[in-house]
Amino acid sequence: MRALSYDGMIRFRFSGRHVALSALSWAPADPSTLGRMPASSFAPTASGVRAHRRALLDDARLYVCTTARTETGDLESFLDAAYAGGVDIIQLRDKGLEARAEIEALQVLARVARRHGKLFAVNDRADVAALVGADVFHVGQGDLTTTQARTLLGPDVIIGRSTHSAAQAAEADADADLDYFCTGPVWETPTKPGRSAVGLDPLRTVSNLKTTKPWFAIGGIAPGPRLREVTDAGASRVVVVRAVTEADDPAAAAQALRTQLD
C-alpha cells in the first residue's frame, strides 16, 4: 500500500486501485488525547468538501440503508435504481460482512454515488469509513462517541446518530460535532430485531423542539398511510430499509416515497 498526496487529499493505492481519503487534510490527533478532543479542535478544512456534503444533507429527504445484496448479486443496479428514483443518501448496513467484503461493496456504492452526485454512508466502523472516503458516518447510542468518530475521520465527514427518545434527540441536536440524527424505530421492524418501537410521540416532541439539525424518522416506514402518519407528526425526512430494498421496482418505490415527502 502506498500513500500519495494529491490536491489536499490523501490517496492510498491498493493493488493498482486508488481510494481517496477526502477527509484527511486535517492534522491527525495525538492518540493520547483520543476521546478528550474539544469540538473546537475540528475546524473545517478549506477544501469545500464539508460545505458540499452539508448542502446535500440539508436538501436530503430520503435515506436508504441496504445490505450488499450478496444473495441477489445486484448491488450496483439496485443502487443505480434507488438514486435514480430520488434517494438522497444510501448507507451500506450489512452486519454480516467482514471488513474486506464491506470495503469492496462500499467501493461500488462510492462509485454509484459519485455518478449520481449523491451522498453515501458507512455504518458503525470508522476505520472502514476512512478507508473508503465516506461522505457520511452513522453511529448508534452504543457506538463510537462523536468525539471519537471526529478524531478518526476529521471535520469533513458528515456524522449522524440514532436516537430512541426525544431526550436523546435533544442531546444529539446540542452536540456540536454531529450533523444529523435519526429518531425511531417508530414502528417495530424485523430489520432491527430487539429494538422496541417508540411510536409517533417522540417525533411530535422533536418537531416541536425546532431543532437546528436535519433529523430523520426511521423504522417501519412505507409509502402511503405510514409515511403520512410520520409527516403529520412533523418529520420531513425519513430513513427506510425494506420499503426500497425489498421492492420489485426500487426506483418506483423511492419515487413514491419522494413524491409523498416533497
Ligand X SMILES: Cc1ncsc1CCOP(=O)(O)O
x/- mask, Mg ion, residues 102-131, rule CB under 5 A, reads ----------------------x-------
Contact 138, 162 (CB under 8 A): yes
For ligand X, how many residues bind (rule: CB under 6 A)? 16
Shortest distance, CB of residue 125 to Mg ion, whole angstroms? 9
User: Hey, what's the cell of 115?
Assistant: 455518478
Which residue, 61 or 192, is less far from Mg ion as judged by CB?
192
Angle between helices 201-209 and 166-174 (to 10 degrees): 30
Binding mask 136-155 for Mg ion (x = CB under 5 A): ----x--x------------
Lay out the site mask for ligand X across 46-65 (x = CB under 6 A, - = otherwise).
Answer: -------------------x
Listed in sequence order, the residues at least 6 apart from 256 whose beta carbon sits closer than 8 Å to its beta carbon are 223
Q: Beta-carbon neighbour count of residue 191 at 10 Å?
A: 18
Length of the chain: 262
Answer for which of 125, 150, 192, 237 binds ligand X (CB under 6 A) is 192
Distance in Å, CB of 223 to ligand X, minimum = 12
Q: What is the DSSP letter of 217?
A: E
Residues 250/72, Cβ–Cβ less than 8 Å: no
In the complex, what is the shortest distance from the CB of residue 138 to ligand LCLJCK34, in angstroms, rounded to a whole number?
A: 4
